[in-house]
């Protein structure tokens, strides 16, 4: 029977227990956000979680931490409410307002910043930076690379065949000429099926990458995160006029996400666009003048 009276915290704890069956990283994220939701909605019943209650929660979070991003909070609240709907505990599907808040997460790195990172990176980290910059791989996709994923004849890497991607979809990524020879030389001397040491243990591999990355970042004086390398790759591809469907397949994201989040526009891009428009107008006028002269 739909709409039974049940406490929010009781059902949220059940959802959290189910997440223990998922990947450890997924469970950690769920525990952080669901615990925070339980702190606010402790006295609520599931049927009382409306869009107004969600708005009250957003105001409460902003009072605690101004400028915080509520994307993950909404995601986990929707997860709980949808599960409650499908189990017959609430009468209708939830609808929560999406608050598009400005976020400074993700940016394009300048050439000077990249040079400084190169100057302070150890060779292994420099290789990983190039993979992220010129192939656009996510960190986990890069650290779990297996030599069996490489097709040396077509110079492609099949991502998602061994370890699932974020979108759970396979894709073929061309091996950039910048890193092709380093991949080949590494393959010739490698005694492991994995590209990077400790790649069979993802947590250990990520810890090693994080430690060397933070040291390099601090010494170079560059304030950025690892995912900014992927943002930079997407921006470079768009600026190079690579067709959007090609970038979509290479990076494994929708065109909407690519244009709204990953492709960053600079002042130089705007000036370049303005210059092209003016040149186009001038060329049209000159064609009209030539036609009139020929007619005369």
Q: Please give the backbone phi and psi of residue 208, each rounded to the nearest 5 degrees, phi first.
A: -65, -45
CA distances from 50 to 57, 63, 75 (A): 11, 20, 15
What pLDDT score was predicted for residue 190?
87
Q: Which DSSP symbol is given to 194? A: B
Give the fold, CATH level 3, of 111-262.
hpI Integrase; Chain A (1.10.443)
What pLDDT score was predicted for residue 199?
43
Structure tokens at 205: 């591999």
**Residue pointed to by tokens 């029977």:** 1
Rounded-to-integer distance, Cα 237 and Cα 268, Å: 16
What pLDDT score was predicted for residue 200?
47
Instruction: Say how many CA atoms lie within 13 Å of 103 toward its Cβ.
Output: 12
The residue ranges of DSSP E strands in 88-242, in sequence order, are 150-151, 156-159, 171-174
**Boundaries of every domain in the chain:** 8-86, 111-262
Max Cα–Cα distance, the chain, nearest Å: 87
What pLDDT score was predicted for residue 94?
86
Structure tokens at 283: 């060329």
What pLDDT score was predicted for residue 205?
60
What pLDDT score was predicted for residue 272?
66
Burial zone of 9 (CB within 10 Å; 0-12 exposed, 13-18 middle, 19+ buried): middle
The residue ranges of DSSP E strands in the chain, in sequence order, are 150-151, 156-159, 171-174
Per-residue pLDDT of the chain (296 residues; tens, 9 = 90+): 444 578 899 999 999 998 888 777 788 888 999 999 999 999 899 988 989 999 999 999 988 887 777 888 999 999 999 999 998 888 888 888 876 554 556 789 999 999 999 999 999 899 999 999 999 999 989 988 999 999 999 999 999 888 778 778 899 999 999 999 999 999 999 888 888 876 445 556 667 788 899 999 999 999 888 999 999 999 999 999 899 999 999 999 888 888 877 887 776 666 666 666 666 655 655 666 566 666 76
């Amino acid at each position: 029977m739909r709409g039974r009276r049940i406490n929010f915290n009781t059902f949220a704890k059940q959802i959290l227990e189910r997440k223990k069956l998922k990947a450890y990283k997924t469970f950690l994220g769920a525990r952080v956000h669901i615990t925070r939701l339980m702190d606010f909605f402790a006295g609520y019943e599931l049927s009382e979680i409306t869009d107004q209650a969600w708005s009250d929660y957003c105001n409460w979070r902003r009072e605690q931490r101004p400028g915080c991003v509520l994307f993950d909070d909404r995601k986990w609240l929707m997860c709980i409410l949808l599960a409650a709907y499908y189990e017959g505990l609430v009468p209708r599907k939830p609808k929560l307002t999406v608050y598009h808040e400005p976020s400074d997460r993700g940016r394009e790195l300048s050439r000077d910043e990249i040079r400084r990172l190169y100057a302070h990176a150890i060779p292994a980290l420099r290789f990983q930076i190039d993979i992220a910059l010129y192939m656009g791989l996510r960190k986990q996709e890069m650290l779990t690379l297996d030599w069996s994923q490489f097709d040396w004849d077509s110079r492609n890497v099949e991502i998602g065949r061994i370890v699932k991607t974020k979108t759970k979809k396979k894709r073929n990524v061309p091996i950039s000429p910048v890193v092709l020879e380093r991949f080949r030389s590494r393959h010739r001397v490698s005694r492991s099926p994995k590209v990077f040491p400790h790649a069979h243990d993802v947590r250990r591999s990520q810890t090693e990458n994080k430690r060397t990355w933070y040291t390099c970042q601090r010494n170079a004086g560059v304030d950025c995160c690892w995912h900014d390398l992927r943002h930079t790759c997407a921006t470079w591809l768009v600026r190079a006029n690579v067709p959007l469907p090609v970038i979509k397949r290479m990076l494994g994201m929708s065109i909407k996400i690519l244009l709204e989040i990953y492709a960053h526009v600079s002042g130089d891009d705007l000036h370049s666009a303005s210059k092209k428009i003016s040149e186009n107008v001038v060329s049209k006028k000159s064609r009209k003048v030539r036609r009139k002269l020929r007619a005369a």
